[in-house]
Amino acid sequence: MLPLAGLSRILFFAAAFAAAAAPLHAFAQQGNPVSGQPSSSRARKLFSDALDWQRRGEENNAISSFRKANKEDGGRCFECVRRAYTLAMGIDDFKTARAAVDEGMAAANTDADRALMQFWLGMAWQREGVQDRIDKDFVESCEAFKAALALDPAFTATHFSDGVSFAHLHQDDNARAQFTAFLKQDKELPALHPRARRFLENLDLARARMAPAFSITTLDGRQVSLDSLAGKVVLVDFWATWCGPCIEALPHLRKIVQEFHNQPFVALSVSVDEDAGKWEKFVKANGMTWPQYHDGGSGISLAALFGVHQVPATFSINADGVLEDQHLVGDQHIDDKLKKLIDQAVAAQNRSSPTASSSHP
């Protein structure tokens, strides 16, 4: 397994969940051929080069080529800006992310376009504030979110992100106001609603390193969201049928599932296989009876939310939804970590309700 970027970047992918559902507005259709991609032949060549750099894991070269493609295209390439920004955020290069936003802002022709750029700017400042623990960065993010809402009051994801920044500034009344506004106004991001309600109940969670909010349908037809699993420890395992280390770790994962059966614990296996049929056949043939999800369909990618670029990649999440660690499933330390987290979950259940049951979902 190749090393991934720091876990702190996962906060960006959690926010990207909200951003992904937001409309791309007119900026993506300003005469560009496909989803805001470049129109000129020279820009398309630079865009193709950037994709090659990205596939090779050369993020800095990819970012540079995407920005050059946008410049060559007269600053009209939405997809160039989006990819440059996302890659820069993924490697914690917040200065470059903000530069990409400036380039996008220069070509934004509508208030909706400019609101989207302000939202991205706010997320860059917020991420930097989380990483460096600098209040000024959160203040800058709040200003950007305020500008986004002034430009497009219907951009409801901004209320949620603004609430997080206010929480980090310990401006709790403002944070509650933003989470409340999000819940009252939002119609497009239902998977974030439980998270917003939990933040309202406990603002310390808004200041914590929360795992990305998601809502999925598993192979057996169950609807599972992270926030619906509150009170349970969650192990999210990214794997593929073609991944040798993943297959080698399967017996250990099965042992973990069996060991913590009937405890406040859920294991979720997320396949990144391209061939869904092959994945489903493998799951059934190998008796993988715990929740299974194929990440290759439409909608939000869990791998993108968790910042996963290589498998295996496994994450533990405590009963409050706080992201704890990234592991290799074959590592014996994961068993000890899970037992500690589960003991804490059981203790919390006993404190809240002496007769509480800790059955598996």
State how many domains the chain has. Answer: 2
List the structure tokens of 198: 């939990």
Whether residues 116 and 260 share a domain: the answer is no
Q: What is the pLDDT of residue 11?
A: 41
Residues 160 and 19 in one domain: yes
Structure-token match 């009170």, residue found: 231
Amino acid symbol at 118? Q
Q: Is residue 114 part of a domain?
A: yes
| Confidence band of 35 (pLDDT split at 50, 70, 90) | low
Do 67 and 182 belong together in one domain?
yes
Please indicate, yes or no, if residue 1 is contained in any of the structural domains.
Answer: no
> 176 vs 81, 147, 163, 172, CA distance in Å?
32, 19, 7, 6
Flag whether pLDDT at 29 surpasses 50: no
Whether 168 and 292 share a structural domain: no
If you average pLDDT over residues 47-69, what whole number do you get?
93
Give the separation between CA 261 and CA 277, rounded to whole angstroms: 28
DSSP string, 91-120: TT-HHHHHHHHHHHHHH--SHHHHHHHHHH
Q: 85 lies in a domain? A: yes
Please tell me whether residues 174 and 26 are part of one structural domain.
yes
Q: Is 49 helix (H, G, I), strand (E, B) or coil?
A: helix
Residue 191 lies in a domain: yes
Quick one: 274 and 334 in the same domain?
A: yes
Torsion, Cα 168 172 178 179, to 10 degrees, reads 90
Asked if 198 and 128 sit in the same domain, the reply is: yes
Domain end call among 173, 206, 239: 206
pLDDT (tens digit per residue) in 325-336: 776 655 668 888
Q: How confident is the model at residue 1 (pLDDT cuts 50, 70, 90)?
A: very low
Q: Is there a domain that residue 358 lies in?
A: no
140/120 Cα distance (integer angstroms): 12
With respect to residue 357, please indicate whether it lies within any of the assigned structural domains. no
pTM, to two decimals: 0.75
Inform me whether the pLDDT recorded for 131 exceeds 60: yes
For 311-323, b where at least 16 C-beta lie within 10 A, e where not — what string?
A: bbbbbbbbbbbeb
The answer to whether residues 186 and 50 belong to one domain is yes
Domain end, chosen from 206, 233, 260, is at 206
Of 118 and 108, the one with more pLDDT: 118
Percent helix, strand and coil across the chain, each rounded to 5? 60, 10, 30
Say yes or no to pLDDT of 21 above 80.
no
Q: What is the mean pLDDT of residues 14-43?
A: 51
Three-state SS at 231 = coil
65 shares its domain with 158: yes
How many other CB atoms are found less than 10 A from the CB of residue 352? 9
Distance CA 254, CA 330 (A): 11
Are residue 40 and residue 159 in the same domain, yes or no? yes
Residue 86 is assigned to a structural domain of this protein = yes
For 206, the token pair is: 């808004």
**CATH assignment of the domain containing 191:** 1.25.40.10
pLDDT at residue 213 in the model: 83
User: How many helices (H) and strands (E) in the chain?
Assistant: 15, 7
Position 167 in a domain:
yes
Q: Can you give the CATH number for the domain in which 313 is found?
A: 3.40.30.10
Domain span at 186: 7-206
Query: β-strand 323-327 against 313-317: which pairing, if any?
Result: antiparallel
Give the model's pLDDT for residue 2.
27
pLDDT digits (tens, 9 = 90+) for 134-171: 999 999 999 999 999 999 999 999 999 999 999 999 99
Q: Which residues lie closer than 8 Å to 290 by C-beta, 6 or more apart?
A: 257, 266, 267, 268, 269
The tens digit of pLDDT for each residue in 166-204 reads 999 999 999 999 999 999 999 988 878 988 999 999 999
The pLDDT of 222-244, averaged and rounded, is 92
Looking at the fold, whether 37 and 185 belong to one and the same domain comes out as yes
- Domain stop point among 185, 206, 227: 206
In terms of domains, do 202 and 316 share one? no
CB 92 within 8 A of CB 119: no
Please, what is the Cα angle at 147 between 146 and 148, to 5 degrees? 90
